[in-house]
Amino acid sequence: MTGEVMSKGEGERLEDGRRRKFWRVIGSIFIAGMVLGAAIGFVAAHNDMPIEETFTALPDAAVIAFIAFGIAAFTWGCWAFVKSIDEVELADNLWGSTASYYAYAVLFPSWWVLGQAGITAPPNHWGIFFLSLAAGMAVYGFRKWQAR
Give pLDDT tens digits for 42-99. 888 888 888 878 888 888 998 899 899 889 999 999 999 898 888 999 999 999 999 9
**Tens of pLDDT, residues 7-30:** 888 888 888 888 898 899 889 889
100-130: b (≥16 Cβ within 10 Å) or e: beebbeebeeebeeeeeeeeeeebeeeebee
Decide if pLDDT at 140 tops 90.
Answer: yes
The per-residue pLDDT for 19 is 86
CA 129/CA 103 separation, integer angstroms: 9
What is the separation of C-alpha 145 from the centre of its chain, rounded to a whole number of angstroms? 20
The per-residue pLDDT for 49 is 86
CA 116/CA 105 separation, integer angstroms: 17
Residues 6+ positions from 95 with CB-CB distance below 8 Å: 139, 140, 143
Q: Where are the domains of the chain?
A: 10-85, 87-148
Confidence of residue 40 (pLDDT cuts 50, 70, 90): confident
